[in-house]
């Protein structure tokens, strides 16, 4: 939800960073790879109990993940491959973080499995609707707004590490919120696609 509605308040910063990095000769896909690589390291940092460093790199990765698209639009080089690369690295970063949590907090592995299942379900609906729908907005595919988008996920990931004593309940909360988002997106898809078999 914040990715959609709060983005306009940060566009100036994102676009300024895009111009700076583009001026250094970096392409949008290169920034995507840099963002992904930085994000992947967070899982290792979580496992090593380096929570502050993990939080910093997580948000740096997320920021660069916003900048890559701005670079593509700035240079009129948006591509379907860039979209695939971006979405793939987004999921790899989340997987790395969750694996780090699983090794650092073995007592919540069942909760993390519930979390991962919810993410898979929500992303399946999100990507399927994007694939079968016409493009809308500035994204290269139809973007379904939901309660839990990437920024909300990063906020909760951060809270996990700031309040590790509450991680059991927080991981359940995360899973439930993502599951709710999946239901939201499924209901929206039904209305949007107007499938005769579902009416």
> What's the rounded Cα separation, in Å, for the pair 178 and 118?
6
Burial state string for 29-39 with b = 16 or more CB within 10 A and e = fewer than 16: bebbbbbbebb
> What's the rounded Cα separation, in Å, for the pair 109 and 104?
10
90 catalytically annotated: yes
> What's the rounded Cα separation, in Å, for the pair 188 and 199?
13
Structure tokens at 57: 């790199």
- Catalytic one of 65, 68, 86, 90: 90
Angle at 141 (CA atoms; ends 135, 144), nearest 5 degrees:
95
Angle between helices 80-104 and 150-162 (to 10 degrees): 20
Provide the annotated active-site residues.
Answer: 90
């Amino acid at each position: 939800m914040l990715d959609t509605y709060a983005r306009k308040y940060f566009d100036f910063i994102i676009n300024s960073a895009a111009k700076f990095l583009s001026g250094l000769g970096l392409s949008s896909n290169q920034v995507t790879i840099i963002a992904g690589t930085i994000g992947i390291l967070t899982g290792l940092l979580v496992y090593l109990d380096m929570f502050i460093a993990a939080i910093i790199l997580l948000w740096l990765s997320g920021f660069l993940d916003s900048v890559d698209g701005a670079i593509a639009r700035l240079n009129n080089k948006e591509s379907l491959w860039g979209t695939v690369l971006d979405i793939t690295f987004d999921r790899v970063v989340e997987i790395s973080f969750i694996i780090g949590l699983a090794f650092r907090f073995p007592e919540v592995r069942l909760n993390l499995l519930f979390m991962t299942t919810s993410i898979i379900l929500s992303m399946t609906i999100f990507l399927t609707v994007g694939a079968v729908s016409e493009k809308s907005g500035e994204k290269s595919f139809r973007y379904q707004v939901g309660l839990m988008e990437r920024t909300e996920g990063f906020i909760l990931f951060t809270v996990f590490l700031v309040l590790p004593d509450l991680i059991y309940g927080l991981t359940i909360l995360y899973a439930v919120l993502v599951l709710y988002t999946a239901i939201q997106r499924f209901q929206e898809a039904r209305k949007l696609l107007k499938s005769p078999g579902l009416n």
